[in-house]
């Protein structure tokens, strides 16, 4: 069959995850009574993301974002908002560091399972910043 992709084609699954997060992003424009926020801008592609966090006692209680960005950046912000609430700030910092390391290399990095769909941008160096922009904003918000 023309165009048939086996179910185990991880790249296709990752692309679909990115599409779904971009189409229906978690945390987009949600009011959370943020205690921390930062807006990050990528002048190369025009992505602009405001990440808001509500942190109490070194725990991320809630995360949201707003902005105008490409599908990769929107999906990354959605994954951030879906992944970090309920975890300590150190988990956010660790995921940021591991995602950056994974995107800067060809090697798999342990501990980034929920963010694996973002690894598809490795082949497109100019898009790595799109995937990391929300995470960078979250780190600067701290």
Looking at residue 1, what is its pLDDT? Answer: 41
* CATH code assigned at 43: 3.90.1010.10
Selection from 65, 70, 80, 79 nearest residue 130 by Cα: 70
The total number of structural domains that make up the chain:
1
pLDDT > 80? residue 60: yes
Residue-wise pLDDT for 10-58, tens only, equals 677 778 888 898 899 999 999 999 999 999 999 988 999 999 999 999 9
**pLDDT surpassing 50 at residue 7:** no
Looking at residue 10, its pLDDT comes to: 61
Q: Is residue 44 part of a domain?
A: yes
Is residue 1 situated within a structural domain? no
What is the CB-side half-sphere exposure of residue 100 using CA atoms within 13 A? 13
In the block, residue with structure tokens 């592609």: 45
Q: Is the pLDDT of residue 6 over 60?
A: no
Whole-structure pTM value: 0.89
In a domain? residue 73: yes
Instruction: Say if 5 falls within a structural domain.
Output: no
Q: What is the pLDDT of residues 74-85, one digit of tens each?
A: 999 999 999 999
User: What average pLDDT does the chain have?
Assistant: 90
Is the pLDDT at 110 greater than 80, yes or no?
Answer: yes
**Domain limits for position 131:** 10-141
- Residue 33: per-residue pLDDT: 97
* Those residues with Cβ within 8 angstroms of residue 50's Cβ, 6 or more apart along the chain or in another chain: 37, 38, 39, 40, 65, 66, 67, 137
Q: Are 107 and 9 in contact (CB under 8 A)?
A: no
């Amino acid at each position: 069959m023309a165009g048939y992709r086996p179910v185990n084609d991880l790249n296709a699954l990752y692309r679909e995850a990115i599409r779904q997060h971009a189409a229906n992003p978690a945390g987009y424009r949600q009011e959370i009574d943020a205690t921390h926020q930062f807006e990050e801008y990528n002048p190369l592609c025009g992505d602009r993301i405001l990440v808001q966090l509500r942190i109490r006692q070194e725990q991320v209680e809630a995360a949201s974002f707003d902005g105008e960005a490409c599908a990769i950046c929107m999906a990354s912000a959605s994954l951030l908002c879906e992944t970090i609430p309920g975890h300590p700030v150190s988990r956010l910092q660790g995921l940021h560091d591991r995602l950056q390391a994974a995107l800067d290399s060809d090697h798999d990095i342990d501990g980034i399972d929920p963010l694996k769909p973002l690894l598809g941008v490795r082949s497109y160096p100019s898009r790595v910043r799109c995937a990391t922009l929300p995470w960078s904003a979250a780190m600067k918000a701290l």
